[in-house]
A and B are shown apart, each in its own frame.
Chain A
Amino acid sequence: MGHHAADVAIRIEGLRVVRGGRRGVVVLPNLDLLVPAGQVVGLLGPSGSGKTTLMRAIVGVQTVASGTVEVLGMPAGHPELRRRVGYVTQAPSVYGDLTITENLRYFAAVAHAGPRDVDRALADVDLARIAGRRVDRLSGGERSRVSLAVALLASPDLLVLDEPTVGLDPVLRRDLWDLFGRLAARGTSLLVSSHVMDEATRCDRLVLLRDGEVIADATLADLLEETGAPDVEHAFLELVDHRARRPEEDR
């Protein structure tokens, strides 16, 4: 494998996704994206911009209409990627009628991970104290951390996290972003979606998505410099306004 391929975690060309079958909605009309390896890349955009659909295409659970999605040098959904890519959906996908430990033990078996991985994942999301509790008796934030812990079991090379910090208190949010930073330092690639623009400061790189199109793909510093905006929220507005003006200039 060439040097270039190793630096790229995700390579997407001409991705078109229609959600909901033949008469569905075009969520991603024609998307190109390169996600570098070993970094925390924030996928920011309002609700309905296509973040979840893009993530589903990357982990290979989304039927795609056309285009190529290459993950860690392999086509998305490749059987080998199922061991190397961790995916956390927006709604916590764990068994409510099992305890935290029972959930992790089952998913550890599935991911070919051992008891030590269960302990490590529990410690990473700070749930070791209440590991014996049933998941349906947990708060929403605790539940989403269980879901995150499941994805950490196999120590994946790429973590795809869909809004992992929604509903968490500021301390926990900070702790989780610290964890994401540590994982990236260990060489894990992370793609983290959020609709909270201020989480951009914790990302190495930002991808701004709107109506299924990438409107920016840069570091935070470059983005602010290019748009002259004081923060990501304003940079986003500036880019949207700029694109709205552009068709008139073309005329």
Chain B
Amino acid sequence: MRKKRILALGTDLFVLILGLLALGSPFIFPQVYDLESQTASYPIMVSLIILLCLLIIIFEAQSSLLDSKMIAFLAVLTALNSGLRFLENAIPGPGGFSPIFLLIILSGYFFGSRIGFLIGAMTLLISAIITGGIGPWLPGQMITAGWVGQSAVLVTFLVNKFGWRNKPVEIVFLSAFGAFWGILFGIIMNLWFWPFLGPGFGETFTRAISAIENLQRYFAYYLTTSLVWDIIRAVGNVLIISIMAKPVLKVFQRFKQRFSFTIQGDALL
């Protein structure tokens, strides 16, 4: 059991490092700016590496988690969350506001990192299948949404450590976490195509500069093109979590007990 936990932790760490290395390659490997060797293949290569990371973590998660109970639970929750994505037009909220982060964050917070990851990644996959939004951008969206759910376990850790469960500070912390990811989600998503579209890609003018200077350029680009959009998403997350988190967590608590049955014996397959 301990061996499998170490393996799971090692897998998470590897996927996180490789994913961040791929997404952060413009700062870490300045050769990405070489026009002749990269052209348009950069976003596709990043997507491919992210896809491989996603396959590894999904493989690990499905093997450790997915029995009939979990398949039914996750499938229905994912369908519901994908449905919320279509409510984006109905719920008043401009810009990058999206209600999907509510269930992703709360399921990661309440049920643990694996379930949080799967809800995040699968929500994006299901809504892409339904809306015809499958493309090279999808692996990046899936893994980032997965990271949102996975990292919610950090809030669980803090809340448990300081005994904040069922206190107002729990909701404050979750809302702050939602705000943080509202911005970070946009920052990571932009990284996918920034070297391709952004200022660094005009011939050679950024090849010689340091990673810090490149980072400054990226944030300047981000500030001018995406910050307002992402602030709206962050504020939307704060509002929706602060209003809905408590009742949703109560429902989760009730169903966690009901889903805690075990099945004895083997299936007749």
The answer to whether A and B assemble together is no
